Amino acid sequence: MYSLTAIKSDTRLLLFHHEGKRSTEDAIELFNGVEKMRSTSSPIPVFISDNWDAFEEGLLNVYGKIELPQYKGIGRKPLPKLVPLDDLKYVKVLKKKVKDYVVETISQIIFGDPKEIFEMLGANSDGYIGTSYAERINLTIRTSLARFIREGMNFSKKKRMHTKTLDLFQAWYNFVKPHDSLKIKINCGNRRWRYRTPAMA
C-alpha cells in the first residue's frame, strides 16, 4: 500500500493524501481530493510530480474533456479522445541516476504553455523545477510516523487505521508544527521572528 500526497509548495500546506496502489484510479482519487479543496474562482494550479505515468493519466481524467477530432472524409471516423483543459499545467521531473546517485534532473512540460508555467513558478526558462518540497514532506512523514519505517514491527495492519493516522499527522503538520522557512522577521522587543504553520501561511 502506498500513500499519495499533494502539497502546496509556497505555504507547505499538506492538501490531501490518499492510500492505495500505484494505479491511475488512485491518482484520480488524489487529484479529485485536491480539486474539491480548490475555490471555483481560483485557477487550476501548476502540478509538478516525479516520473510516474499514472499522474498524467489521473490529471487527464480530472482536468480533461472529451473532444471529437475533425473527420477529414477519408477512412474511419476518429474516435472521441480525452484532452487536457486549456489551463491545465503539468510538469514532470525526470531524474537520471548512476549507481543510486542523481546526476541530472530534467523538467519535461507535459501540459501547458512553458512561458506561462515558468512565470507562475517565478523562474526563467533555464530555472530549476524540482520536487524537493514533496520529497521533504515525505521525509517528514517517514521520520514522524513509525508506521512508515521500512521492515519495522510498527507497520499498519489495516488500511483504515493507516489513513486515520495520516489524518492526524495532516492536522498536526498543517496547524501545529511551525516551519522555519515560513517565519517572518518582525523585530518586536525580544522577538526577532514570528513563526508560522502552513495553515497560518
Residue 123: pLDDT band with limits 50, 70, 90: low
Length of the chain counted residue by residue: 201
Residue 125 reports pLDDT greater than 60: no
- Scan for cell 542523481, then name that residue: 102
Q: Which helix (H) or strand (E) holds 201?
A: none
Q: Which helix (H) or strand (E) holds 43?
A: none
d(CA 198, CA 139): 17
Q: Would you state the pLDDT for residue 126?
A: 61
Q: What is the mean pLDDT of residues 130-138?
A: 80
Per-residue pLDDT tens over the stretch 140-189: 888 888 888 777 777 888 889 889 999 999 999 999 999 888 998 887 77
Q: Would you state the pLDDT for residue 30?
A: 94
The separation between CA 38 and the C-alpha centre of its own chain, rounded to angstroms, equals 14
Q: Would you state the pLDDT for residue 40?
A: 83
Mean pLDDT of the chain: 86
Predicted TM-score (pTM) of the model is: 0.82
Radius of gyration of the chain (CA): 20
Residue 59: pLDDT band with limits 50, 70, 90: very high
Q: Would you state the pLDDT for residue 93?
A: 85
Q: Would you state the pLDDT for residue 73?
A: 79
Question: What percent of the chain clears pLDDT 90, i.e. is strictly above it?
Answer: 33
What are the CA-CA distances from residue 84 to residues 61, 124, 183 (Å)?
A: 9, 24, 37
d(CA 38, CA 28): 15
Residue 127 reports pLDDT greater than 70: no
Residue 128 reports pLDDT greater than 80: no
